[in-house]
C-alpha cells in the first residue's frame, strides 16, 4: 500500500466551500483519486478514527470539530503517497506551514486545519479501511 494514502478535507474547509479547490490541487499535484465521498461523521466515528489521540488535551475539541459538519474522505494514489500528501498539506499548525501548502492557504488554526493525512503506510491502510470498502476503491 506504499502508493496509497488516506486524506480528509475537514469540516472547516467544506464549510468554507473550498473543497473543490482542494480537490483540484490534489489532482494538479499528480495524485490519482481512488476513492472519494462526502460524509458527515458521528461523534462516535470521529472518536474511533482519532483513538490514537484519546486522552490528549485537544481530543474533545478535535472529535467535536470533526463531527460538526460534512467532510470529504479520500483514498489517494501516488508514488510515496504518504510523504507526498503530507508535503502538500503542510505543517499541522498553519502558522508553521510553508508557502504553497494547503494548510498555509486554507487552515485557520492548529485545530481547524483544513486537511488530514496519514502518517505512515500502516496507518494509511487502517484509515482507508475505516471509511472505504474494497468495492468503493476504483
User: Which of residues 13 and 75 has its CB atom nearest to ligand ADP in the complex?
Assistant: 13
Which residue stretch of 24-32, 71-79, 113-121, 123-131 sits at the interface with ligand ADP (rule: CB under 6 A)? Answer: 113-121
CA angle 90, 126, 136 (to 5 degrees): 95
Q: How far is CA 78 from CA 29, 31, 67, in A?
A: 9, 5, 28
Shortest distance in whole angstroms from residue 114 CB to ligand ADP: 9
Residue 119 sits in the site that holds ligand ADP (CB under 6 A): yes
Contact (CB, 8 A) for 96 and 49: no
Judged by beta carbon distances under 5 to 8 A according to partner kind, the member of ligand ADP, Mg ion, none in contact with residue 77 is: none
Contact (CB, 8 A) for 10 and 71: yes
Task: Just list the catalytic residues.
Answer: 116
Shortest distance in whole angstroms from residue 126 CB to ligand ADP: 14
Amino acid at each position: 500500500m506504499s502508493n496509497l494514502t488516506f486524506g480528509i478535507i475537514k469540516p472547516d474547509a467544506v464549510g468554507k466551500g473550498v473543497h473543490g479547490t482542494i480537490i483540484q490541487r490534489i489532482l494538479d499535484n499528480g495524485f490519482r483519486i481512488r476513492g472519494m465521498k462526502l460524509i458527515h461523521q458521528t461523534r462516535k466515528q470521529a472518536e474511533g478514527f482519532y483513538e490514537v489521540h484519546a486522552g490528549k488535551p485537544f481530543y474533545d475539541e478535535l472529535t467535536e470539530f470533526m463531527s460538526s459538519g460534512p467532510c470529504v474522505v479520500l483514498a489517494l494514489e501516488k508514488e510515496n503517497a504518504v510523504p507526498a500528501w503530507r508535503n502538500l498539506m503542510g505543517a499541522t499548525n498553519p502558522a508553521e506551514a510553508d508557502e504553497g501548502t494547503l494548510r498555509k492557504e486554507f487552515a485557520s488554526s492548529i485545530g481547524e486545519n483544513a486537511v488530514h493525512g496519514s502518517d505512515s503506510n500502516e496507518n494509511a491502510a487502517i484509515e482507508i479501511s475505516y471509511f472505504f470498502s474494497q468495492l468503493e476503491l476504483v
